[in-house]
Amino acid sequence: MSAEEKFDVIIIGAGPAGSACAYILARAGKNVLMVERGSSPGSKNVTGGRLYTYALEMVEPGLYKQAPLQRRVVREQIMMLGENSAVNIDYVNYDFGEDVPQSYTVLRAPFDEWFANEAEKQGAFVASGILVDGLIEENGKIVGIKAGEDEMYADVVVAADGVNSFIAQKAGLRPDIPAHTLGIGVKEIIELPDEIIAARFNLQGDQGAAKVAIGCSDGIAGGAFIYTNKGSISLGLVLNPEQVGQKGRSIQEILQDFKMHPAILPLLEGGKTVEYGAHLVPEQGYQGVPSRLYRDGLLVVGDAAGFVINTGTIIRGIDLAIISGAAAANAILNSIEGTHAGPLYMEELQKLALLPTMKMFAGWHSIISIPRMYKEYPELANDVMRFMFTVDGQVPEKMSKAMMNIAKRHVAVKQMLGDGWKLFKSV
């Protein structure tokens, strides 16, 4: 093996996890190769919308200021949609993003390209347009990668290849991933002038809004999101693919219905869809993290490791990807030429609060799997509001009785108590 064919570390995938890892390793002088199958980093990434910037701070203080960020999120909105109505919770905090940079909306194509470029500036070698299709194993240790005819060796290989990680499966760390553990995400980018976005979402300057909605998925487990960018909004759905199949509906149809909802359409009107994409999301939270995240010579980071938190109101994957990439880099730097980097990586995941955070949210998966969350409860909320705001000259029903009736119309009391207990227990 010549020096030409060996790197200190090879990273598979130039998403946020891969680039964070490459950045830190290259900065420390490691000889790093990052391989990306897309024609450029970001070209395969259609996901997402918002980034919690604390994660970039952990890679390099101040780095986020150079990133191609869109808008600073100051407005958080939760919508519960009824047939022809909507309950909207609107929380605005103008301190968000001032001192503690909290979150910004991002467009993944430019963001990923920028981040990989920063890693390159630190000295990492980025090879785009190359699909890694195998690992090289010697005496039970992963010692390199295969891409077509070519083989390339490294002390450590990092699998940052995203959800449904082919590499982690190849290495025997993950079984074939069953459909019910994944969500399917679809997303559109809709162009609108900034003045219109500001007016429709009640924003000023670089302020942004993040909106999540439930009750828009025909009873299928899942929800919608809308993020405001510069000159565009990102809009999408994350749904349970099995239930979509059982309902016999297409995701495209459900997305279309959501866009046509009378409470959503006015936000989009006049806009032009310029990008459309679909992508999978790990949905099981802590339960979905494989029991082993490393092998001798291999570390698994980001979506490949199942590091996504989805509470229904926030989805965090990009930040956890970055943190896990940083944890892997730290572990490799603390090891001697990568030996025993695995246990060090697990320690780093604890130290950087990633695993404890995932554990904290572990119960959420059982809440978002309550089927009534997606139809009955949003409808119930809308009915309550209708009752409260209906004035028609008649003697209104007694409040407590009316509430009871509305509740019973949607959910059996026993079920509601059960769901309430589940909620209490899980959170």
Ligand X SMILES: Cc1cc2nc3c(=O)[nH]c(=O)nc-3n(C[C@H](O)[C@H](O)[C@H](O)COP(=O)(O)OP(=O)(O)OC[C@H]3O[C@@H](n4cnc5c(N)ncnc54)[C@H](O)[C@@H]3O)c2cc1C
Distances (CA, A) of 59 to 25, 40, 400: 10, 22, 54
Reference 236, options 53, 384, 107; nearest CA is 107
Handedness of CA 406, 412, 417, 422 (dihedral sign): negative
Establish if 125 lies at the interface with another protein (CB under 8 A): yes
Give the one entry of ligand X, another protein, none that residue 82 binds, where binding means its C-beta sits below a cut-off of 5 to 8 angstroms depending on kind. Answer: none
Helix (H) / strand (E) containing 188: strand 182-191
Q: Which of 32, 45, 220, 228 binds ligand X (CB under 6 A)?
A: 45
Handedness of CA 259, 107, 48, 132 (dihedral sign): positive
Distance CA 380, CA 80 (A): 10
Which string of x and - marks every residue 270-309 that binds another protein (by CB under 8 A)? Answer: ----x-----------------------------------
Report the distance separating Cα 293 and Cα 268, nearest Å.
42
Using only the alpha carbons of the chain, give its radius of gyration: 23
User: In terms of Cα–Cα distance, which of 400, 168, 410, 388 is closest to 291?
Assistant: 168
| Contact between 127 and another protein per CB under 8 A | yes
* Shortest distance (Å) from residue 378 CB to ligand X: 20
193 near another protein, judged by CB under 8 A: no
Q: Which is nearer to ligand X, 37 or 247 (CB)?
A: 37
Size of the site for another protein (CB under 8 A): 16
Handedness of CA 190, 195, 200, 201 (dihedral sign): positive
Q: Which residues, in sequence order, are CB contacts of 101 under 8 Å at separation 6+?
A: 53, 54, 57, 64, 72
**Stretch near ligand X under the rule CB under 6 A, chosen from 136-144, 311-319, 381-389, 403-411:** 311-319
| Smaller CB separation from ligand X, 268 or 381 | 268
Based on CB atoms, which residue is closest to ligand X, 53 or 207? Answer: 53
Nearer to another protein, 40 or 426 (CB): 40
Of positions 91, 100, 129, 246, contacts another protein by CB under 8 A: 129
Residue 141 contact among ligand X, another protein, none, beta carbon within 5 to 8 Å by kind:
none
Least Å from the CB of residue 38 to ligand X: 5
Residues 130-169 that bind ligand X (CB under 6 A): 131-132, 160-162, 166
Pairing mode, if any, of strands 298-300 and 294-295?
Answer: antiparallel
35 counts as binding ligand X under rule CB under 6 A: yes
- Quick one: which of 16, 144, 223, 342 contacts ligand X (CB under 6 A)? 16
Amino acid at 227: Y
Distance in angstroms (rounded) separating the CA atoms of residues 327 and 315: 21
From CA 378, how far away is CA 217, in angstroms rounded? 11
Q: Which long-range contacts (CB under 8 A, 24 or more apart) does 83-87 make?
A: 83/379, 83/382, 84/262, 85/263, 85/382, 85/385, 85/386, 86/261, 86/263, 86/382, 87/378, 87/381, 87/382, 87/385
Shortest distance, CB of residue 229 to another protein, whole angstroms?
13
The site string for another protein over 144-163 (x = CB under 8 A, - otherwise) reads ---xxxx-x-----------
Q: Does 317 bind ligand X (CB under 6 A)?
A: yes
39-47, 196-204, 216-224, 395-403 -> range binding ligand X (CB under 6 A): 39-47
Binding site for ligand X (CB under 6 A): 12-18, 35-38, 44-45, 47-50, 131-132, 160-162, 166, 185, 187, 236, 238, 279, 281, 302-304, 308, 315-319, 321
Binding site for another protein (CB under 8 A): 4-5, 33, 35, 40, 125, 127-130, 147-150, 152, 274
